[in-house]
Chains A and B, each alone.
Chain A
Amino acid sequence: MKDSDKLKFVGQWQRWLSPTGNTGDAVFRAAMFAVALLLLLIVAAMIVALASHSRLSIREFGFGFLTGREWNPIKGQFGALAFIYGTIVSSLIALLISVPLSLGIAIFLVEQAPYYVSRPITFLVELLAAIPSVVYGLWGIFVLAPFLRVHVEPNLAHWFGWLPLFQGPITGIGLLTGGVILAIMVTPIISAVVRDVLAAVPNTQREAALALGATKWETTRVVLVNGAPGIAGAVILGLGRAIGETMAVTMVIGNRPEISLSLFQPSYTLASVIANEFTEATADIYLSALIELGLILFLVTFVVNAIARLLVWRVTRRTSGVGMAA
């Protein structure tokens, strides 16, 4: 077949697929496009599959599913409020601890430490992110939970016992432990993104501040202001991660669908109830309710991540654009 015949054969599509007029180009581009399209379809399929399988539960409970406090598989009564509460509180504890910590780490590594210190340390902090969730859970059960039970929770109860947050029996298994293990897990993620954001702030900003006689810390503050949207994005990204974390939380949070103000009490999260009860769900409505929890988790993390990405892109894209133009 001659080239001109091929051109006729592929016809109109050719021009759209490949301005160069080469059949191989058209085929190659179409194939790569198909794969990218497949990815879009997978996301769409996720939404459709989760929604259609939670139909039964959505029809039965409607919006009351989100506000129902009772989760009783035996009576066939399903409400997600306890899980939503547990997810939000454990994630907030995680952020409360990990945001200052990871900001400190990122600032130290990008702004303060010399290169020969920051390079190996960066690798070590990244290794924290490489440890699997189930390993954190194992460590949480046998090391962290006993440590909190013996050394931390009694002190919290002693000094801050007047707050309802720190009252009740101390077991080491509960919201606080879940939050702390989450904090350790999201710290490397937040600090990695903040590091990228700080590194993307143009050096001219630092030089200008230094030239005005700023100290190291004052320069850092100028850089922080420049990277603020990206830092916000990093924090939200960490939140998304904390909301969806499953194994480690399931292993230390106690898995009881109750709403209690005390952080010492067992609780339950959206992700951990799915992990824990999915294979036990024999009734259709039970399974459907669990899949609806999955749908909620999907939608929430999708929105949270989308917001975070847009914020991070705002800083890193803007500055890389400047770099390209220069």
Chain B
Amino acid sequence: MISFFAGTDRTRRATSGLMTTLTALCTVVAVGILLIILSYIAMRGIGALNLRFLVDTPRPVGEGGGIGNAIVGSAVLLLLSCVVGIPLGISTGVYLSEFGGGAFATTVRFLIDTLTGIPSIVTGVFVYAVIVLPMNHFSALAGGIALALIMIPIVARTTEEMIRLVPHSLREGALALGAPQWRVTLGVVIPAAASGIATGAMLAIARVSGETAPLLFTAFGSRFFPRNLNEPIASLTVQIYNYAISPYDEWHAQAWAATLVLMTLILGINIIVRFLTRKRF
């Protein structure tokens, strides 16, 4: 313990002040980078952004074109992933919080934590192997499932945590009135945690709406508005990627504009969630 207090009073105080400054500097660097990135997106994105760009389909270089189909495609993919991922994620979270004492639950919890760290491109390869290969073509369905697989662990963990925050007295009150366990969970505990679960789901949506890697060879991409779920489908992120690595200035500008649209959605969700969770902590 002595080593922690080495030096004269003056040097110790100086060291303390210096370290506070250094750590503050680290924080300033991180926030600075964030502001730089956001301002670049805003500045470069606003140039190519107009109503026509938002509703048109992609066109060859020099003819303008837009991201209408990509916006619709991303919406379809997100909807699909929510339909599959949110119920499964919430159920897993409920299982963990209500029956999560044993070794099996601990294993599941550990797997979920580890799953969130599996690279999303691997999820894409997996979905390619089990859905795209047997079906023999890329499809919106495959893309939606890939996104759902990324969503499930996030939703499961936040659901578990939110249910844990529900006071025991609520549970005990319902049980004392003679309600069976399942009605207590479905009728009392989950409604009490609903807003927390909803914000968790929204954060998961924000996260997967930025995913590109798992869509490259599942949803693939398309130049047209989606007609059915069995076809390849466009998405904002894949469109941004394809335009960004293209050699054309016009497409670069469109990539920045599409990024502005995507970031507005993601930042919007994050700020709304922030606003909703303000009261609770």
Q: B19-41 CB contact bits vs A (8 Å, 1 = yes)?
A: 11011111101110110110011
Asked if A237 CB lies within 8 Å of chain B CBs, one says: yes
Closest chain-A Cβ to B148's Cβ sits at a distance in Å of: 10
- Residue among B29, B92, B217 making CB contact with A36, cutoff 8 Å: B92
* Contact segment of B58-66, B116-124, B193-201: B116-124
Interface majority SS (helix, strand, loop, mixed), chain B? helix
Query: Which residue of chain A has its CB nearest to the CB of B183?
Result: A24
Complex CA distance for A308 and B117, rounded to whole angstroms: 10
Is A130's CB under 8 angstroms from B244's CB?
A: no
CA A56 to CA B26, docked complex, whole Å:
48
Contact indicator B4/A218 (Cβ below 8 Å) = yes
Tell me whether B56 is interfacial, beta carbon within 8 Å.
Answer: no
Whether A301 sits at the interface, judged by CB under 8 Å, is yes
Is residue A100 contacting chain B, with contact meaning CB distance below 8 A? yes
Q: Which of A31, A109, A241, A305 has its CB near the most chain B CB atoms (within 10 A)?
A: A305
How long is the Cα–Cα vector from A31 to B88 in the complex, in angstroms? 11
Cβ–Cβ < 8 Å partners of B108 in chain A: 36, 39-40
**Quick check: A305 and B4 within 8 Å, CB to CB?**
no
Q: Does B5 lie within 8 Å of A104, measured CB to CB?
A: no
State how many angstroms separate the Cβ of B38 from the closest Cβ of chain A: 8
Q: Is A132 an interface residue (CB 8 A)?
A: yes
When the two chains form their complex, are residues A213 and B122 in contact, meaning their CB atoms are under 8 A apart?
no
Cβ contacts B36-51/A at 8 Å (1 or 0 each): 1100110010000000
Q: Give bound CA distance, A113 to B25, whole Å.
A: 12
Interface string of A87-101 (1 = CB under 8 A from B): 000000000000011
Task: List which B221-261 residues lie within 8 A (CB) of chain A.
Answer: 237, 240-241, 244-245, 252, 255-256, 259
CA A25 to CA B175, docked complex, whole Å = 13
**Alpha-carbon separation in the docked complex, A151 to B129 (Å):** 44
Assuming the contacts A36-B105, A135-B41, A188-B30, asked whether A309 and B25 have C-beta atoms less than 8 A apart, the reply is no
Which A-chain residue is minimally distant from B217 (CB atoms)?
A: A278
B185 CB-CB contact with A under 8 Å: yes
Say whether A279 faces chain B, with CB atoms less than 8 Å apart.
Answer: yes
Contact B122 A218 (CB under 8 A): no
Known interface pairs A27-B182, A36-B95, A305-B113. Does A216 touch B20 (Cβ–Cβ under 8 Å)?
Answer: yes
Let me know if B77 is at the binding interface, CB within 8 A: no
A138 interface residue per 8 A CB criterion? yes
Q: Bound complex: CA of A263 vs CA of B274, how far in Å?
A: 40
CA distance A58 to B213 in the complex (A): 24
Q: Does B111 contact A (CB under 8 A)?
A: yes
Known: A28-B185, A184-B33, A309-B113. A274 touches B259 (CB 8 A): no
Cβ of B125 under 8 Å from chain A: yes
Q: Which of chain A's residues have a CB closer than 8 A to the CB of B206? A: 130
Tell me the complex Cα distance, A231–B98, Å. Answer: 30
Q: Is the CB of B216 within 8 A of A279?
A: yes
Q: Are B96 and A36 in contact (CB under 8 A)?
A: yes
Asked if A170 lies at the interface with its beta carbon under 8 angstroms from chain B, I say no
* Minimum Cβ distance to chain A for residue B192 (Å): 17
B10 to chain A, nearest CB (A): 11
- Name the distance in Å between A210's Cβ and chain B's nearest Cβ: 12
Shortest Cβ distance from A183 into B: residue: B33
Most buried by A among B105, B113, B129, B220: B129
Q: Which stretch from A43-51, A62-70, A73-81, A154-162 is at the chain B interface?
A: A43-51
Q: Cβ of B274: which chain A residues have Cβ within 8 Å of it?
A: 123
Q: Please, which residues of chain B bring their CB within 8 A of the CB of A134?
A: 210, 212, 237, 240-241, 244
- Is the CB–CB distance between B107 and A40 below 8 Å? yes
> Within the assembled complex, what's the spacing in Å between the Cα atoms of A212 and B12?
14
| A212–B126 alpha-carbon span in the complex (Å) | 56
Q: Which residues B1-17 have CB closer than 8 A to chain A?
A: 1, 4-5, 12-13, 15-16
Q: List 16 A-B contacts (CB under 8 A).
A: A25-B181, A28-B181, A29-B99, A36-B92, A36-B104, A36-B105, A108-B20, A112-B23, A113-B27, A132-B210, A212-B5, A217-B16, A218-B5, A246-B212, A271-B213, A301-B119
- Known pairs A25-B181, A36-B95, A107-B19. 13 more at Cβ < 8 A? A25-B182, A39-B111, A40-B111, A104-B23, A108-B23, A123-B274, A132-B237, A132-B266, A133-B212, A138-B244, A143-B36, A187-B30, A278-B125
Which residues of B line the A interface, CB within 8 A? 1, 4-5, 12-13, 15-16, 19-20, 22-27, 29-31, 33-34, 36-37, 40-41, 44, 88, 91-92, 94-96, 98-99, 104-105, 107-108, 110-115, 117-122, 125-126, 128-130, 133, 149, 152-153, 156, 180-183, 185-186, 206-207, 209-213, 216-217, 220, 237, 240-241, 244-245, 252, 255-256, 259, 262-263, 266-267, 270, 274
Which 10 A-B pairs have CB atoms at the shortest separation, nearest pair first? A132-B210, A244-B119, A104-B26, A28-B182, A305-B117, A108-B23, A32-B95, A215-B16, A217-B16, A294-B125
